[in-house]
Amino acid sequence: MKKYIYNIIFTYLLIVAGFSLRAAQNPVLEIENSVETTLQLPFIGAQVFIEPGQTPEEIDTWFRVLKENHFTVCRIRMFESYMKKQDGTWDFSLFDNAFRSAEKHGIKVFGTIFPYTEKTDIGGFKFPRDEAHLQSIALFIKQLTTHFGQFKSLYGWVLINEPGVGGKTPMTEFTKNKLNEWKQNHPQKEFTDKGFPILVELSDQAFLLDYNTWYLNWIATEIRKYDTMHELHVNNHQMFQNCAEYNFPEWRKFLTSLGGSAHASWHFGYFTRQQYAAAMSANSEIVRSGAGNLPWLMTELQGGNNTYSGGTPMCPTKEEIAQWLWIITSAEGKGSIFWSLNPRSSGIEAGEWALLDFQNNPSDRMKEAAKVAETINQNRALFENSKEVESGINILYIRQSLWAEGKMAEGSTQNYEARKVGGVMKSAISYFEALSEMGVNANFKAFEEFDFGKTDYKGTTIILAHQISVPDSYAPILENFVSKGGKLIVDGLTGFFDENLHNTMITGFPFANLFGGNIREFKLVDNLFKVQWNNFAIPAHLWRGFIDVKSGKTAANCEGEPIAVRNTIGNGEVLWIPSLIGLGSRITGDYTSLIMLLNKEADLSLSTVPVRFKTAQKDMLMKTIKSGNSLITVVINKQDKPGQVMLDFKSKTTTGKILYSNKQGTVVGQNLSIGSEETMVIEWK
């Protein structure tokens, strides 16, 4: 009851304060005691890296440069090691200089809570070591919030830098105690209700999911003891690998906004550089879905060269900087913050990642970001309340599938994609990339983030691409979706395991009624083979599934046996192709035939899309947002040559108005001329 009353009081305070990013629909966001009365959205900002040795004048220069380049927000890593003295007293003067300069230049600050850690730990620990460590973190939070809460420039707190441990929980004394406590509430069974033995468990991953949520909630609760007024935020990283560790719907209960890190060098290992724009788009859609009704922003973007750190050495081009910013904006992102403005002086990342050169002058990357910010400012009414145009197509990932792959996939000497960790996510990504080439927005969601509570799903499509482990309880949920008019497209080994890693073809296939049959067997064919579909063939990877058809109707045959089934449930339909056609198409680098399939099978969803490419465009993407009576298209050409593109509108439009172009792109009627690596932002009435 106390917690319930506290939540009511806290919600009331937020409403009265009227400052939260949750009020993103309101063009005027008032911040308590702010030097300014508004924080305009969407915003662009950068990390200001504060460390000993810096002078007040140097720090002030950085905030002046932010202001001069239309950056309105910064993030500061609040190092306990630079504040707490050996005698136990606190010296905040270094960071006071930064907050004062932020106030002077009208910059809002996200302070990242960064308790003491080893010097070589550039990302920070993710969980406490023991009870004493937990209490020291609590003391640090008290010192931070009570001291820096006095500054008008403080905007919010980032609870932790980049939660997520890649599925491997560090077993400290504290964690072991938490695990034992968790097991008492989640007793592990030796056998399933059907009597089958449980030999491989996913309990460690289920614990990690809850453990992440517990720790973040604990930090938020500690902050709220002393600060009930400022934003609470967190940035997730390595999204394509770590998303199964994140329970976003639960996090919404204590956050006021959700964020992410999207460093191409660290986080886009499943993509080539030419695919980084699509990667940023997919990453953004995962965070947007996770945020739900909360606003979201990309808390970290790569700002400059990574010389010796990061997985892939690179320096973003100014064109890539523009692409990333416009992709985030067109996915309803309320802000983008670069890592970083200035480089740190020592350590693994010394002299890297910065938007500024070593003379503190803006790089070409920062100048381009300033042009994007200026365009947004000049068209504030359009962008502050814009909404992404929904296609009704939803690519769902199931966390148990990612967990199962981590347990089962050990690679192979042939280096097959589906035998390695990543096959599940890459299969989902393949459909996202294909739809991007069609110029269509697609949702990228965790299964539990989809709204299964509607009464009518006509025009809505769900894609389950090679989701190898599906809980039995999901069968009636999906049947309800289809029966109410939804379209379900299933490929690969979706449903091969249940949540206990039993093979469902043996223990009882819960999707037989939904899919219209069961699997006779899967046969390994080759790295690439063809699935013949009507008058064209679709590339597939590794395994072909042969179906024992029951209620469904055969949609494709091979060797005289069914390899695809179409099944009607109520007012909707299921198309089941138990071959990895998504991943196969991705491996070939050619989505032509997969796009042909999607045009036919997702036709009800696609018929509602107000604008898309007339014909699919390889290595291009388009995202569309709506604002008032205007459609705004963001078109990006990743081809190595200029392109001519025709747009297909469902309704009559006037000539498009170019709001931003970083090359010499033109619009004539519904035809675009767009240069290589160009980004065009066009308003259509």
Element of type H or E holding 265: helix 264-267
pLDDT in tens, 198-240: 898 899 999 999 999 999 999 999 999 999 999 999 999 999 9
Mean pLDDT over residues 517-545, rounded? 97
Burial class (CB in 10 A: 0-12, 13-18, 19+), 617: buried
Half-sphere exposure of 532 (CA within 13 A, CB side): 10
Which pLDDT does position 651 carry in this prediction?
Answer: 87
- Of 16-25, 214-223, 395-404, 648-657, the range with the lowest mean pLDDT is 16-25
Mean pLDDT over residues 582-592, rounded? 98
Measured from the Cβ of residue 647, the count of other Cβ atoms closer than 10 Å reads 23
CA distances from 174 to 127, 168, 215, 338 (A): 8, 15, 12, 34
Predicted confidence (pLDDT) at residue 250 exceeds the cutoff of 60: yes
Band of pLDDT at residue 25, cut at 50, 70 and 90: very low
Mean pLDDT over residues 653-662, rounded? 92
Which pLDDT does position 5 carry in this prediction?
Answer: 43
Q: E strands, 48-86, where?
A: 73-79
Domains and CATH numbers, the chain: 2-378 (3.20.20.80), 393-606 (3.40.50.880), 611-684 (2.60.40.1180)
Cα first-last separation, the chain: 51
Packed helices 581-588 and 592-601: angle between N→C axes, nearest 10 degrees: 140
Conformation bin of residue 255: beta by default, left when phi > 0, alpha when psi is -120 to 50? beta
Which pLDDT does position 88 carry in this prediction?
Answer: 94
Predicted confidence (pLDDT) at residue 30 exceeds the cutoff of 50: no
Band of pLDDT at residue 21, cut at 50, 70 and 90: low
The partner residues of 485 in beta bridges, in order of sequence, read none
Radius of gyration of the chain (CA): 25
Predicted confidence (pLDDT) at residue 487 exceeds the cutoff of 90: yes
Which pLDDT does position 194 carry in this prediction?
Answer: 86
Element of type H or E holding 661: strand 657-661
Strand 657-661 relative to strand 620-627, pairing: unpaired
Predicted confidence (pLDDT) at residue 160 exceeds the cutoff of 60: yes
- Sorted by sequence, the CB contacts under 8 Å of residue 639 that are 6+ apart come out as 618, 619, 620, 676
pLDDT in tens, 410-442: 989 999 999 999 999 999 999 999 999 999 999
Strand 43-47 relative to strand 335-339, pairing: parallel
Separation of alpha carbons 208 and 540, rounded Å: 34
Separation of alpha carbons 117 and 95, rounded Å: 18
What six digits make up the tokens of 379? Answer: 């068209």
**Letter for the amino acid at 98?**
A
Would you give the DSSP letter of residue 551? S
Predicted confidence (pLDDT) at residue 344 exceeds the cutoff of 60: yes
What six digits make up the tokens of 242? Answer: 């770590």
pLDDT in tens, 108-144: 999 999 999 988 888 899 999 999 999 999 999 999 9
Which pLDDT does position 193 carry in this prediction?
Answer: 84
Mean pLDDT over residues 302-325, rounded? 97
Separation of alpha carbons 372 and 642, rounded Å: 22
Q: Is the dihedral of CA 639, 645, 650, 654 positive or negative?
A: positive
Predicted confidence (pLDDT) at residue 27 exceeds the cutoff of 80: no
Predicted confidence (pLDDT) at residue 192 exceeds the cutoff of 50: yes
Mean pLDDT over residues 73-90, rounded? 97
Half-sphere exposure of 190 (CA within 13 A, CB side): 0
103 closest CA partner among 166, 48, 50, 152:
152
Which pLDDT does position 9 carry in this prediction?
Answer: 41
pLDDT in tens, 592-635: 999 999 999 999 999 999 999 999 999 999 999 999 999 999 99
CA distances from 97 to 44, 120, 148, 626 (A): 22, 26, 11, 42
The partner residues of 529 in beta bridges, in order of sequence, read 540
Which pLDDT does position 267 carry in this prediction?
Answer: 97
Separation of alpha carbons 544 and 189, rounded Å: 34
- Sorted by sequence, the CB contacts under 8 Å of residue 406 that are 6+ apart come out as 167, 205, 421
Sheet harboring 579-580: ordered strands across? 517-533, 536-549, 579-580
511 closest CA partner among 561, 468, 554:
468
User: Three-state DSSP class for 453?
Assistant: coil
Band of pLDDT at residue 38, cut at 50, 70 and 90: low
Residue 625 contacts residue 389 (beta carbons within 8 Å): yes
